Every structure is written in C-alpha cells, then in structure tokens.
C-alpha cells in the first residue's frame, strides 16, 4: 500500500508574528517546512508529497519547494488540505502541518503501518496524553467542570487516513472553515479514528516561545 503526504504550509502565521509566512521562517538554519520535508523524504512508506502554499503576495519571500508538487492553499487549513487532496492518487494519505518541524520519519511509517494492520480504521492520528489538569471554563472565567485527564489526549499531526474516508469527510461538510484538524471531520462521518502515541517533542510552533524551544531541540538533534 502506498501513501502520499500532504504538507500544510499555506498559513500566514499570525500568532508567530514573523515577517514571512510561518512555514518559511528560518529555523535552525533552514526554512521551517524543510525539516518536515526531510522527514517525509526519509519515511519509507511515503512516495509523494504535495505542499499547500501561501497565496502569492503574502509578505516575505516564499522559496520554491524542489521535488514536491505544490498547490495553492485556501482560506482555512481544511480548505488547503482539500485542494491538495484533489491530487492524491494513493490509497492512504497523511496530512502533516509544516508547523511541526520536529516530526520523525519513524512516526510517518508507524502511522502507515497501523492503517495497514487495521483495515477497519478510517484514520490513525499522532497524539500525546494531556499532562495538565484540564477544566472547562465558562465565559465569565467561572470553572464549569474538571475533565477526566486519564481520557484526554493532545492531538498532533501527522494524521493518516484511507484516502476515500478523508475525501468523503471533506466533500460533505459546511464545517470546513471551522475544523481544527482533519480527523474531526472523519469522526463526524462515523469513521473509526485511533490515536497513535507520539512524543511531546513533536510540538507545534505557534508563538515566538515555541520557535525558541524548537530551535533548541533541532540544534540538539543535528549535534551542532
């Protein structure tokens, strides 16, 4: 079974506040998306990569992406993913955010292996157990309730799917602009989605603090 990776890189990175789109911000010596591209290239189970790109005219320069197919992003993350999905021809697809540069080839391969091993699964998604006590809070800051942490997971990417399941989920929804991940849409269609425990190191770069942490971790990896 072969798999295609979609690398979501079309966001502007408002919360990071850099002068280029987030995926193209320099991180430990290369544009952020190149860290994920290198992991995808090294993953044995992935044969093709499609990158969703920021619209032309975004502030800063957007370098070309050698060896990858590129498609224009959409106004929301899910719309960007839908644009890329239209080009996917393999049975399995993995969606990964360029904002997670610490991903490893092994994580992609493990998710593909789990999808292959469980034909009933529509999706397998990277996740890590929640470590903080987590409460639901009302608008006026009053605590409504404390959630049972033992059943809570923080969800990451990559998220792997049977391509037809993701296609059906993205085709049939008005929620596209609201979904914060792809699995949510598959879950709503009744698809069986499993978590795959990943490292908390696979963090998402959202704010300048995250960029500092990611820089530190990536420098440590390359031994420089």
* Residue 99 binding ligand CTP, by CB under 6 A: yes
Helix (H, G, I), strand (E, B) or coil at 175: helix
With CB under 6 A as the contact rule, the residue among 3, 4, 5, 13 that binds ligand CTP is 13
Binding span for ligand CTP by CB under 6 A among 5-13, 39-47, 116-124, 139-147: 5-13
> Residue with the closest Cβ to ligand CTP?
11
Alpha carbon dihedral 103, 79, 65, 220, in 10-degree steps, equals: -20
Q: Quick one: three-class SS letters along 97-160?
A: ECCCCCCCHHHHHHHHHHHHHCCCCCEEEEEEECCCCCEEECCCCCEEEECCHHHCEEEEEEEE
Q: Which residues of 170-203 are buried (b: 16+ CB within 10 A; e: fewer)?
A: beebeebeebebbbbbbbeeebebbbbebeeebb
Contact 101, 11 (CB under 8 A): no
Instruction: Please tell me whether the peptide bond between 158 and the residue prior to it is cis, using omega within 30 degrees of 0.
Output: yes
Taking residues 23 to 52 in sequence order and writing x for each that binds ligand CTP by CB under 6 A, - otherwise, the string is x----------------------------x
* Residue 12 binding ligand CTP, by CB under 6 A: yes
CB of residue 77 to Mg ion, shortest distance in Å: 6
Contact 153, 138 (CB under 8 A): no
Number of residues in contact with ligand CTP under rule CB under 6 A = 22
Taking residues 58 to 97 in sequence order and writing x for each that binds ligand CTP by CB under 6 A, - otherwise, the string is ---------------xxxxx--x----------------x
CB of residue 157 to ligand CTP, shortest distance in Å: 8
CA–CA distance, 3 with 95 (Å, rounded to integer): 10
Name every residue whose Cβ is closer than 8 Å to that of residue 153 and which is 6 or more positions away in sequence. 127, 128, 129, 130, 195
With CB under 6 A as the contact rule, the residue among 5, 22, 83, 165 that binds ligand CTP is 22
CB of residue 41 to Mg ion, shortest distance in Å: 25
Number of residues in contact with Mg ion under rule CB under 5 A = 1
Binding span for Mg ion by CB under 5 A among 8-16, 27-35, 84-92, 149-157: 8-16
Q: Which of residues 197-216 bind ligand CTP (CB under 6 A)?
A: 204, 206
Q: Which of residues 11-40 bind Mg ion (CB under 5 A)?
A: 11
Contacts with ligand CTP by CB under 6 A lie at 8-15, 22-23, 52, 73-77, 80, 97-99, 204, 206
């Amino acid at each position: 079974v072969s798999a295609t990776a979609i690398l979501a890189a079309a966001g502007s990175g408002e919360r990071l506040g850099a002068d280029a789109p987030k995926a193209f911000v320099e991180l430990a010596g290369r544009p952020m998306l190149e860290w994920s591209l290198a992991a995808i290239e090294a993953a044995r189970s992935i044969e093709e990569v499609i990158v969703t790109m920021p619209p032309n005219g975004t502030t800063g320069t957007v370098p070309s992406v050698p060896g990858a197919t590129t498609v224009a992003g959409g106004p929301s993350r899910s719309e960007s993913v839908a644009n890329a999905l239209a080009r996917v021809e393999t049975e399995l697809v993995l969606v990964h955010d360029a904002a997670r540069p610490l991903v490893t080839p092994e994580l992609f391969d493990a998710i593909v292996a789990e999808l292959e091993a469980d034909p009933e699964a529509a999706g397998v998604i990277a996740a890590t157990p929640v470590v903080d006590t987590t409460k639901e809070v009302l608008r006026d800051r009053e605590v409504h309730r404390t959630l049972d942490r033992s059943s809570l997971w923080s969800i990451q990417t990559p998220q792997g799917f049977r391509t037809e399941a993701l296609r059906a989920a993205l085709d049939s929804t008005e929620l596209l602009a609201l979904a914060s991940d792809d699995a949510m849409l598959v879950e709503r269609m009744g698809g069986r989605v499993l978590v795959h425990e990943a490292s908390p190191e696979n963090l998402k770069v959202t704010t300048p603090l995250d960029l500092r942490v990611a820089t530190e971790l990536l420098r440590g990896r390359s031994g420089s």
